[in-house]
Structure 1
C-alpha cells in the first residue's frame, strides 16, 4: 500500500496581461533559496491557500494584477489534477488535467472548506487521494466531535516561518487552549489510523455494551503492536532478499560444509594424535639413549682410569726388574720373586681393558648416532605437528567458526522472516476480529469511550524515528529522544524544546514532522507524503546569533547533513524547503534547486517576474 498520497508538480500565479509566475516541483527534495523578499514565503502561502487555508497570500506589490493561483498535483496511482483558487473571491475549482491543458477543460467548482455532506470540496478530494477514511475527531473535553479534514494533515506537514520556531508541539496549528483537544485527537488519528467515528455515533446511546468495546480496544492495540513488530523486524531485515526456501537451502549447504570440514578436522586430529604419540615414544627412547650415553661416558672414565693404573704398575715392574739382586739383610738369603707372573697378568689385564674401552667407545658413538637420528625424527614430527596445528587453527577452526556463525545468523534471519509471516497471519486474524467486533458494536449500539492516548509502542517507535533523523542530521554527538505525553512533543536528551531556544526549535520541529511522515509510511498509515518547511535552517542560525547562544549556532555540517538526509528519499515522497541559505554545489546538482537572486541581471530574480 504505497500508491496513496501525491506530490506537487507545478505552482502557477496568473493574471490577465501578466507573465506567469511558476515553479516546478518533483518527487524527492526541492529547494528554493535566495535573498529575502523574493517570494519564497509567498510560495508557501499560495500552497497553503490552495490546500484550503483561510488567509489569502500576502498582498505584496509584485502580486498586483495576479488574481488566480493554480497548483498541479500528481497522485502516486497515476492521476493528474489541477486545483485553482481565486485570490479575489476565494472560489475554488478543479481540473482533471495538467496545468497546461486547463484552457481546454471546463472546471468544476468545489468548496474550499471541508463538508462531510458534500464530497465536492478540496479537503475530501485530497483525503481520498491519501486514502484517509477519517470522518470525525473529538473537538473538546465534553465529547463534541467535528469532521477530520485535510487541514489536519496540513498542520502536521507544513510549517510556516512563524510556526517552525514555536516552542509548542507542531501538532498545534495555533497556541490556543480551545483547539488543543481537537489537535490532539487529529494527531492520535494520524498516528493510529483510528478516528472517533464510533464515539460520535454512539455517545448518546443508553444500551451500553462495554464488553465488545473493551475487546475492540484490545484488538486495535494488538493490531498496532503487530504492525509495529512487523515494521521493526522488517527494519532489521532491510536489504535482505531471501525467502524461507532460500534460508533452508543456505542452512542445509552450511550444515554440509560444516560436516565436511568437521570430517577433515577429525582426520587431522587423529593424524595429529598418532604423530604426537609417536613423538612421545621417540622422546622417551631418546631420553633413555641420552641416559645410556651418560653412563657409558662414566664407564669410559673408569676404563681409562684402570688403564692409567695398569700402565703405572707396568712401569713399576719395568723399573723393579732393573734392580741388582740383593740378599735379605736379616737372614742373608737371596731374594726370590713370587711364583705369580705379575708382569704377564698386568699385560693381560691391560689388553682386556683396552678391548673393553674400544667396544665402549663404539657403543657410545653408535648410541649418539641413534640419538642424533631421533632428534632429526623429533624435529620432523614437530614440524608436521606444527603444520597440522596451523591448518587446524588458521584454516579449519576459523572456517568452522565462520560457518557456525553464518548458520546461526541465517537461522536468526529465517526465524525473523518466519516471525514476520506469523505476524502477518496474526494481523489478518486480528483485522478479521476487529471487523467482527465493529459489526457487533454497530449492531448493539455500544458506547465508545473517548480517549486521546496514543499507544506506547507507537510513541516509542516514533521517538526512535525522530532520534534517527536528528542523528542523521548530525545535530548532536549523542541524541536520545523521548515523547512527552503531556506536551505532545519530543524531549531531547532529557530536555524539552523550551530549554533550547527558538532557533533550536526550528530543527526539532522539522524533525518532528518528517518523523510523522516516516512513521506513517512505515506503518502504511494515510499521509499526503509532502513536507513543506519555511526557513528551518536560516531561522536557526539568525535566532541563535541574536540571542547570543553561540553554542547552539548551526554548523555547516548540520546544514549539509540536513539536505543530504532529505535527498535520500527519491520516490513517492516530496520535500519542499524554502531557505535563505545556499547549499554546497554537490547538493545543488542532486536536487531540484531554484536560486532567487533579487538581482535582475543575475539568474532568476524571484518567484514573480520583474516588470510582469
Structure 2
C-alpha cells in the first residue's frame, strides 16, 4: 500500500470507546458498568473491584490470562466488553474467564443473540483464515495493518493491539513506575514499543526496511562457511592433482564413439531379440507337431484294433455260410447271426433253408468288407499325416539348432564385446565429466572463499535508524504542555522528550526523578496528551485511555526516589475540572480512590463504589452484593 493511501486511511479515523463491561454467570446477577464519551470517573473504596475492571478489559483485548482475580468474581464465567466507534458501529467481545478464544459480535451487548459471532484468537493467528483480536479491533478503530521494526538489525513484526497497552491501559503500578510510559512492561521488545510510539506520532510504519544481521552473527556464520568451503576444496584439489587420462579423448570424440557403438549394439540387440522370437516360435511348432504325432499314433493303434475286429467277423460269417445245412440238426439255442432264440418263427431257425442263411451271411460280410475298405483308406491318410508332422518336428529341431549356434557363436560374443567397449567409453566420459564438474566446483568454491575472506576483512558500518519525527514530537509536547497548564502545574510547564530515556522532561527535570505522586500525574498527562494529539492530527490510536490511581500514590513497595508526598491540591482540583471539559471524540476513564468535587461529578459520567459502608441506593462495588 502506498504512503499516500495509508495516510488517507489514517486521516479518516474511527476511534473506538468503551461503552459497557459485563460479567455474567449462571444463576447470578450480571455485574455491569457503563461508560460515556469524554470524561469518565470511577471512584470508590479499596477492594471494590475498580482495578479489576481494568484487568478485565486487558484480558478481553488479548492478555494470556486475567492477571488479577477477586473472590467475588469467581461465580462469573464470561466477560463482555461493548465498544462503539466514531462511525456509530458497535462491537461486543466475549471471552470465558477460563481462557481460550474470543467471540466477536458486531452489535450492541443487548442485541448479541440476534447476530452470529466470529471467533478469533487472543494472539496472532497462524493458520490460514484465522484472525486474531488485533485484526478485529484495528479496522474498527480505523487503524490499518502495520509492520514495525523490533530490533536494531531491522527484523520486523506485525503491529498488534498489545503494543498500545502502555498508553491505553495504565494500571496503578505502572502509573507511578520510573519506567518509560512508552516502553511499558509487557513482553514486547523496547524497540517494538519505540516504533509503535513513532507510528502513533507520524503514521509511518517500517514496511520495506532491509534486515541486517549483527556483526558477531555474520562473522560466526561466515567463519563457519569458510571452514566448510576449505573442507570441500581439499579433496577436490587432491583428486585434480592426481587425475591422469591415458591417451585422453576429447569430449566430442567420446560422444561420437559412444553413439557409433550404441548403434552397433542396437543392431546386435535387435538381431538377438529376433532370434529369440524365432526360437520361441520354432519350439512352439516342434511341441505342436510332436503332440500331433503322438495323437495320430494313438488313433492308428485304435484303427488297427478295429480292422482286426472286422477280420474276425468275416471269418465267423464264412463259417456260418459254409455250415448253413447243419442248422436243422441243432438244439434250440441262440442264433449266431442275430443272437435271438431259434424257435420255429425265427428266420434263421432250423426250418430255414440253407440258401437263405448263406445269402444273409454273404450280405453281412459285404457290409463289413465295405467298412474295412473305408478303414484302410483312413489308416493310410492318418499314416501320411503322421509322417508329415514327424517331418515338421525334424524341421523345427533343425531350425532351433541353427538359432542356438548363431546365438552362442556370433551374437552373444559380439554383444559382450561391444557392451564392454561401450561401458569403457561411458566410464571414460563420466570420469571426464566428473573432472570438468570438479574443476568448476573448485573455481566456484575458490571465488566464494575469496569473497568471504574479503567480507571478513571489511569493517561493518554501524546501522543507523531514523529518529523520532521532530515536528510531531514537538506538537505532542505542546499538547502535554497545554494539559499541564489546564492542571495548574507549578512552573513554566515546558515539556521536552528525552529520546534516550523515552520519557518526558518537564521544566528541565525528568519524570523519573520526581516522587510517585508527580510521576503519576505526568504519566497521565503523557497518555491523555498522546490521545488528544492523535485525535487532532488524525494519527493511529485506539481512541480511549484508562488510568488507574493517577492522584493516589500506590502504597505497596518502596521507591528509590524521594519526595513521595501527595499531589498538590491545586493540581488535583484542576485535574478533576479538566475531566469535565474533554472532547466527546475521545474517552478518558479515571479509576480513583478519591472522590471528585460534586460539581465535577455532575458534569462527567461518574460512578462511586461505597464498599462495605454502602447505604441504601448506593452501589457497593463492581460485583453486586
Aligned to 1:396: none
* Change in CA separation of 1:130 and 1:104 when aligned onto 2, cut-off 3 Å: closer
Query: 1:130 Cα shift?
Result: 2.2
SS of 2:588 mapped into structure 1: strand
Residues in 1 aligned to 2:106 and 2:559: alpha-carbon distance in whole angstroms: 48
Is contact 2:21-2:82 (8 Å) kept?
yes
Residues in 2 aligned to 1:585 and 1:466: alpha-carbon distance in whole angstroms: 27
Query: 1:189 Cα shift?
Result: 1.2
Based on CA coordinates, which of the two structures has the bigger radius of gyration? Answer: 2
* Change in CA separation of 1:171 and 1:115 when aligned onto 2, cut-off 3 Å: farther
Aligned to 2:308: none
Query: 1:478 Cα shift?
Result: 2.4
Aligned to 1:127: 138
Is contact 1:110-1:122 (8 Å) kept?
yes
Is contact 1:92-1:112 (8 Å) kept?
yes
Residues in 2 aligned to 1:571 and 1:533: alpha-carbon distance in whole angstroms: 17
Residues in 2 aligned to 1:93 and 1:191: alpha-carbon distance in whole angstroms: 32
Aligned to 2:150: 139
Is contact 1:95-1:105 (8 Å) kept?
yes
Is contact 2:12-2:142 (8 Å) kept?
no
Residues in 1 aligned to 2:44 and 2:589: alpha-carbon distance in whole angstroms: 14
Q: Which of 133-142 and 570-579 deviates more?
A: 133-142
Asked if residue 502 in structure 1 is aligned to residue 513 in structure 2, the reply is no
Aligned to 2:477: 463
Any idea what the Cα deviations from partners look like across 1:427-476, whole Å, max 9, x if unmatched? Answer: xxxxxxxxxxxxxxxxxxxxxx8725111112111111111111111121
Residues in 2 aligned to 1:203 and 1:504: alpha-carbon distance in whole angstroms: 41
Aligned to 1:98: 108
TM-score (norm 1): 0.56
* Change in CA separation of 1:101 and 1:510 when aligned onto 2, cut-off 3 Å: same
Residues in 2 aligned to 1:452 and 1:512: alpha-carbon distance in whole angstroms: 23
2:570 to 557, 565, 575: 557
SS of 2:500 mapped into structure 1: coil
Is contact 1:80-1:96 (8 Å) kept?
yes
Residues in 1 aligned to 2:54 and 2:194: alpha-carbon distance in whole angstroms: 25
Aligned to 1:266: none
Aligned to 1:349: none
Aligned to 1:58: 68
Aligned to 1:481: 495
Is contact 2:514-2:561 (8 Å) kept?
no
Aligned to 2:183: 172
Is contact 1:185-1:452 (8 Å) kept?
no
Structure 1, unpaired ranges of 5+? 205-448
Is contact 1:544-1:553 (8 Å) kept?
no
Is contact 2:43-2:50 (8 Å) kept?
yes
Residues in 1 aligned to 2:90 and 2:59: alpha-carbon distance in whole angstroms: 19
Is contact 1:6-1:572 (8 Å) kept?
no
Is contact 2:199-2:540 (8 Å) kept?
no
Two-structure CA RMSD over aligned residues (Å): 2.6
Aligned to 2:622: 607
* Change in CA separation of 1:542 and 1:145 when aligned onto 2, cut-off 3 Å: closer
Aligned to 2:596: 583
Aligned to 1:528: 542
Is contact 1:503-1:543 (8 Å) kept?
no
Residues in 2 aligned to 1:84 and 1:175: alpha-carbon distance in whole angstroms: 23
Residues in 2 aligned to 1:188 and 1:545: alpha-carbon distance in whole angstroms: 30
Query: 1:115 Cα shift?
Result: 3.7
Aligned positions of 1:253-272 closer than 5 A: none
* Change in CA separation of 1:54 and 1:545 when aligned onto 2, cut-off 3 Å: closer
Asked if residue 514 in structure 1 is aligned to residue 528 in structure 2, the reply is yes
SS of 1:604 mapped into structure 2: coil
Asked if residue 592 in structure 1 is aligned to residue 605 in structure 2, the reply is yes
Any idea what the Cα deviations from partners look like across 1:178-197, whole Å, max 9, x if unmatched? Answer: 71111111111111101111
TM-score (norm 2): 0.55
Is contact 2:495-2:507 (8 Å) kept?
yes
Is contact 1:67-1:87 (8 Å) kept?
yes
Query: 1:101 Cα shift?
Result: 2.0
Residues in 2 aligned to 1:41 and 1:456: alpha-carbon distance in whole angstroms: 36
Is contact 1:113-1:121 (8 Å) kept?
yes
Is contact 1:4-1:526 (8 Å) kept?
no
Residues in 2 aligned to 1:203 and 1:119: alpha-carbon distance in whole angstroms: 30
Any idea what the Cα deviations from partners look like across 1:240-269, whole Å, max 9, x if unmatched? Answer: xxxxxxxxxxxxxxxxxxxxxxxxxxxxxx
Asked if residue 191 in structure 1 is aligned to residue 204 in structure 2, the reply is no
Any idea what the Cα deviations from partners look like across 1:539-593, whole Å, max 9, x if unmatched? Answer: 279999998737x532333222112213212422111110000011000100111
SS of 2:509 mapped into structure 1: coil
SS of 2:119 mapped into structure 1: strand
Aligned to 1:12: 22
Aligned to 1:574: 587
Asked if residue 160 in structure 1 is aligned to residue 171 in structure 2, the reply is yes
SS of 1:73 mapped into structure 2: strand
SS of 1:64 mapped into structure 2: helix
